[in-house]
Chain A
């Protein structure tokens, strides 16, 4: 029997209760019902949330195990408070067949630290010309429901239409990386006053917004679900707001770095700030924060993108795009949204657990903290101020732009079906 009781935690930051977890389920909200042999964890001062779900992660395996493996990625996710991650398809080979997604799925299960839900590619080899066998991937043991060519944009409007229509077959969703390739050839950073000053080719906001505008209209026309990955501009927020008002079934995600950093960070040419979509202006940061607060943006996802040192320890033009983020996401959301009052912890549960699980159709995740539900719990310590040190991470890579930044809190413990996958030493408790 596996039994844990978290005493005196603040559920959703609202009500103090105990969480008695027996054999993978929440058995009771009162410690009196805890079995004698249950391990006791002191939850005072901690906030209990349903286990966090990341709809957008890159685990790099198969193909780039030098940057990350499913195991190191799982470890990093658990440390960050995540119980489930959706692993993007831009691996080598591409996750465009049942074979590859089943391989990733079983490896995730074998390691058992997080539930790994592989994302299936929309097009073969991410080539943008031919639909992949999405049905096969949906019916495989991996039960894929989220499809994305992330890293690349499904640019051809006809192909995007077909994909949106086709996923209705199994209730799937297309998650689009919105970037018009023609408007962003050779782009290095956000197009703006800073890019002019630094002599770096610009990535204009309109390249994101024009694709989102097209896609929401297509989704509306064919009556399908659309998910917009890593939304980063003020204009994009407005388009989503408009689309939802028209009743179009669209959801959107924002990344922690777009909640905190601007293109000013690029001064100095440190490639740790090089990411796609790029860091934008303060106006954009303000708009996405407001969008996340009012629900226009539905979720926070990490876009955890590990890269080996040599791809970042170089000149900007030669560097890879992307940042790791599984372990800093919660702290940044707290810093930018909770501590400023824009989001409550209940809202954090919504945007980092319930809604991503709903979009990804992740059964058993994003469930309420209530008796009878799976014991997927993230215990947050909102008073554990810490300074980010990029090399102190379970990820194989160190490419975090947040080095030296102080974050107000972090995940103190993560439980996947009642088993602790992450537990800070201070909480390793005695038996009841």
Chain B
């Protein structure tokens, strides 16, 4: 694997390999000595064109636990103020000797441009590009689901397995969510039944017509129609909801009424169903406190699983021999 740009190009075999490797990494994180010498001498650059303390820290922890050197590069800019050029930044990193670049960018396709241009030679790991993909998030979500629903709570039982037979629901702003952009293809590759819940205004073009996933316009309808094993609540951006007359939704209150995971809806889920959220949460908007803090919520665990999954990704990208491009 030279780059990790998205989950849509991952084979089932590669996806399971990443999950199994993450399980081994997670095991090492249970020890007193959590650091491994595996990537000693390699340099990983966190290239963040968008603020994200959580994700950056997660990648930083992952790299450092494998003894890699970490450089944090925070570039300014947005679609409105171009700021630092991606090309010039990449050329600088190449000159600094970056073996891998973890890149988060506001423009969809930025990670792919970085990987396919001749600006730099290192491995590219997409930490979120615009509204396109966020592969390590989807992988840590799948890892979490697998541990609980396939492994009965442990990774050992789940080794080598995927998510066949499980029904996973993703609820919220699918249109603008790179988390959904990565989760939907990955869950399908791993054999899960995917249920998408969103108002028509927040669905990408053509998704409602798809026959390989189930689409519902309200959460009640989805809970009624499916035995949901894992439910993933996506963060709602208030500004996007009603802002500037191009509101995708009349009001946050109406959103919560139709799509919020409140105590009543939570109670209608199966006894084993788990709740996920990529964070940060809007408590009371897309998810109630009851659901967020319930024992069957794995939201906090997702964060530590994130480090293990990112360790696995860095290991698989960097540890082996350099394949000729």
Which residues on A are within 8 Å of B, measured CB to CB?
A: 182, 185-186, 188, 191-193, 195-202, 268-269, 310, 313-318
Residue ID in chain B nearest A191 by CB atoms: B205
Cβ of A58 to closest chain B Cβ, rounded Å? 21
- State which of B108-116, B137-145, B228-236, B265-273 sits at the interface with chain A: B108-116
Cβ of B173 to closest chain A Cβ, rounded Å? 13
Complexed CA–CA distance, A374 and B133 (Å): 59
Cβ of A57 to closest chain B Cβ, rounded Å? 27
Cβ of A185 to closest chain B Cβ, rounded Å? 7
- B39 contacts A by Cβ under 8 Å: no
Q: In the assembled complex, which residues on chain A have CB atoms less than 8 Å from the CB atom of B107?
A: 315-318
Contact A317 to B206, CB < 8 A, known contacts A198-B132, A199-B131, A310-B85? no
Q: In the assembled complex, which residues on chain B have CB atoms less than 8 Å from the CB atom of A200?
A: 108-109, 130-132
Determine whether the beta carbon of B205 is less than 8 Å from that of A268.
no
Per DSSP, chain B at the interface is loop
Residues 257-289 of B, flagged 1 when their CB comes within 8 A of A and 0 if not, give: 000000000000000000000000000000000
Complexed CA–CA distance, A246 and B148 (Å): 67
| Partner among B79, B132, B181, B207 whose Cβ is within 8 Å of the Cβ of A318 | B79
Q: In the assembled complex, which residues on chain B have CB atoms less than 8 Å from the CB atom of A317?
A: 79, 106-110, 130
- B3 contacts A by Cβ under 8 Å: no
Q: In the assembled complex, which residues on chain B have CB atoms less than 8 Å from the CB atom of A188?
A: 108
Determine whether the beta carbon of B85 is less than 8 Å from that of A199.
no
- B105 contacts A by Cβ under 8 Å: yes
Q: In the assembled complex, which residues on chain B have CB atoms less than 8 Å from the CB atom of A316?
A: 107-110, 113
Complexed CA–CA distance, A313 and B87 (Å): 7
Which residues on B are within 8 Å of A, measured CB to CB?
A: 8, 79, 82, 85-87, 105-110, 112-113, 116, 129-133, 178, 181, 204-207, 246
Determine whether the beta carbon of A315 is less than 8 Å from that of B110.
yes
Inter-chain contact count A-B, CB under 8 Å?
Answer: 70
Q: In the assembled complex, which residues on chain A have CB atoms less than 8 Å from the CB atom of B105?
A: 315
A selection of 11 A-B contacts at a CB cut-off of 8 Å is A192-B206, A195-B204, A196-B204, A196-B205, A196-B206, A198-B108, A198-B109, A199-B108, A310-B85, A315-B113, A317-B130
Determine whether the beta carbon of B205 is less than 8 Å from that of A199.
no
Cβ of B85 to closest chain A Cβ, rounded Å? 6
Complexed CA–CA distance, A192 and B206 (Å): 7
Cβ of A188 to closest chain B Cβ, rounded Å? 8
Residue ID in chain B nearest A183 by CB atoms: B246
Complexed CA–CA distance, A185 and B80 (Å): 13
Q: In the assembled complex, which residues on chain A have CB atoms less than 8 Å from the CB atom of B116?
A: 268
Determine whether the beta carbon of B132 is less than 8 Å from that of A199.
yes
Q: In the assembled complex, which residues on chain B have CB atoms less than 8 Å from the CB atom of A201?
A: 131
Q: In the assembled complex, which residues on chain B have CB atoms less than 8 Å from the CB atom of A269?
A: 108-110, 112-113
Complexed CA–CA distance, A37 and B116 (Å): 57
Cβ of B26 to closest chain A Cβ, rounded Å? 30
Residue ID in chain B nearest A270 by CB atoms: B113
Complexed CA–CA distance, A198 and B109 (Å): 7
Residue ID in chain A nearest B207 by CB atoms: A196
Determine whether the beta carbon of A318 is less than 8 Å from that of B82.
yes
Cβ of A184 to closest chain B Cβ, rounded Å? 12
Q: In the assembled complex, which residues on chain B have CB atoms less than 8 Å from the CB atom of A192?
A: 205-206
